[in-house]
A and B are shown apart, each in its own frame.
Chain A
Amino acid sequence: MLSTDEIRRIDHEIALVPVRKAASIEALKIVQHHRGWISDESLQAIAAHLGMSAEELDSVATFYNLIFRKPVGRNIILLCDSISCYVMGYEQIYTHLQALLHIKFGETTPDDRFTLLPNPCLGSCDHAPVLMINQDTYRDLTTEKLQEILKEYK
């Protein structure tokens, strides 16, 4: 079941496009924003609202890197693993993150505080290594800075 607020926001997107289905990505974003991830139930509810099959919507949802079809933690850490960050040592940052959080890429801490994911180039290559946590970008990372940065996220 979609909430009235979700439906209101999805309908706003539907009004902007010539066919309902074209709002599918926006609808996934809206529901994920409210619920953190897209469960099978959410997927079915969105698909029904857009007049498409759940399978078709799932093929869209699973295509994109940032629609989560599994539960994630309260805070998402995206560590850039692309070329400039490779040269500037993202691997040390990853090793250090693993030591601090005891999780690997693709995992969530047992207290649901963090999910750690690798991510392609974050567009700050002149300040590599780089990571994002939720909406925030951290550049020129060093292992010393990590602990301070993580403190901000509860």
Chain B
Amino acid sequence: MERPLTQHINFNRSSLNLKDYQSVGGYQAVEKALTSMAPGDITKMVIEADLKGRGGAGFSTGTKWSFVPMNTLGQTKYLIANADEMEPGTFKDRMLLEGNPHQLIEGMIVAAYAIQANISYVFLRWAYKKAAWLIKHAIEEAYTAGYLGKNILGSGFNLEMHLHTGIGRYMCGEETALLNALEGKRATPRTKPPFPQVSGLFGKPTIVNNVETLCNIPHIVNHGADWFKDLSPGSDAGTKIYGISGRVNKPGLWELPMGTTVRELLETHAGGMKKGVSFRAVLPGGASTDFLVEEHLDVKMDYKSIAAAGSRLGTGTMIVLDDQTCPVGFIHNLEHFFAQESCGWCTPCREGLPWTEKILLSIENGTGRPEDLELLEMHTKHLGPGNTFCALAPGAMEPLQSGLKYFRADFEKHIKEKKCPWR
């Protein structure tokens, strides 16, 4: 089984420096792309490989690139790696950043070449101190080796790369809010259209891609679209970095073929539930995805299969809810996060999330009323897709709406007994 993204990552050794990376074939994709491929060929290859964005929304990466205007000689364009990872329960990009920073840089150079961008940023979460140090150092090494800067490998292509570390706000990960943050503003989202591909950072064409998405690029260029598709037996191409946290025996991260089942992840890789607790449900792709329960254990973790089961692949990092943890408290914790991180730009989210949080807290504390469940149901509609300015609020409603469905009896028990049965 091939693990292109993590094959050289070994946390018992230190992270790969430039020499290590080159010795395992690093920067061959830059050489190949810049010296023998036209920018449009790379975009075409990435479309054919059917690489979908690993940042949560799952949009075709090559198609996204194809919206960037290309007859733009001399015009500034930007490429941005979204390394803001702040979705609760998500810790996959950290491994790629700390384990093999040059792989990301190489992916960024090839992506920038494909869209002919000459300035690039790594937008990194402040909490990732070690990654910040490693990336900064790796960027310096790449400049010294001539992979960044002017006339890279004699190709005539120029690219600058900067590291930007944020100062903490979930919204910085939303791609148009990220652009505002990079411009030194509040991280509120922008109206689309215009899409960033046409008018992004400082009004220039811009592509924002997730770290894991970009790390796939060198491998696709080296081995081709068919190889990438064949990595997975299922309907979605490539591998995926899956993760599990919660009360399991071996929480962690694993790179596996796209479409690995929830059961295999839980039982084989995470070693099953800890002694004395049993499985109740899982958020398959981070805090803003719908719960899956026992009957879904054999669902394949790919975009289509999870959607058919009523949830989303999201970031592919799962959080397990066990029988010793109160589902109401669990959902309250999620909504507290979303209410706190709401940017306040649009009314349903700014008003609705704190209200949701309050209702959940009162139910958890034993002062909930039967009609509160209808109020919560109402919020899942009012804050759902199409009613808010960005995807934060609809994402926040996913665990709530599925929680109300699967844990109805637990909600009712809190209200009836006027206390949390778990406390």
Contact = CB atoms under 8 A, between A and B. Distances in A.
A25 B184 contact: yes
B366 interface: no
A83 B334 contact: yes
B420 to A, nearest CB: 13
A151 B320 CA distance: 34
Nearest to A50: B184
Interface residues of A, number: 40
A43 interface: no
B189 interface: no
A143 to B, nearest CB: 18
Interface of A: 16-19, 21-26, 28-29, 59-60, 63-67, 81-84, 86-88, 119-128, 132, 135-137
Given A23-B184, A65-B169, A83-B334, A125 B319 contact: yes
A119 B167 CA distance: 12
25 contacts: A16-B162, A17-B202, A18-B202, A21-B184, A22-B182, A25-B181, A60-B184, A60-B185, A64-B166, A64-B167, A65-B169, A66-B168, A67-B167, A82-B333, A83-B283, A86-B333, A87-B321, A87-B322, A88-B246, A119-B127, A120-B86, A125-B243, A126-B244, A126-B245, A128-B245
B27 interface: no
Contacts, number: 131
B374 to A, nearest CB: 25
Contacts of B183: 17, 19, 21-22
Contacts of A132: 127
A23 B181 CA distance: 10
Interface string B323-334: 001000110011
Given A63-B169, A63-B186, A83-B333, A123 B90 contact: yes
A83 B167 contact: no
A87 B287 contact: no
B129 interface: yes
Contacts of A28: 167
A18 B287 CA distance: 36
Interface of B: 85-91, 94, 125-129, 162, 165-170, 181-187, 202, 243-247, 251-253, 283, 287, 317, 319-322, 325, 329-330, 333-334, 336-337, 340-341, 343
B330 A123 contact: no
B184 A66 contact: no
A24 B243 CA distance: 36
A84 B168 contact: no
Contact of B330 (A19, A25, A64, A83): A83
A126 B127 contact: no
Contacts of A122: 127
B90 A125 contact: yes
B87 A121 contact: yes
Contacts of A16: 162
Given A23-B184, A29-B167, A121 B202 contact: no
Given A65-B167, A66-B126, A87-B247, A125 B202 contact: no
A120 B341 contact: yes
B127 to A, nearest CB: 5
Contacts of B94: 123-124
Contacts of A29: 165, 167
B167 A84 contact: no
A82 to B, nearest CB: 4
A24 B184 contact: yes
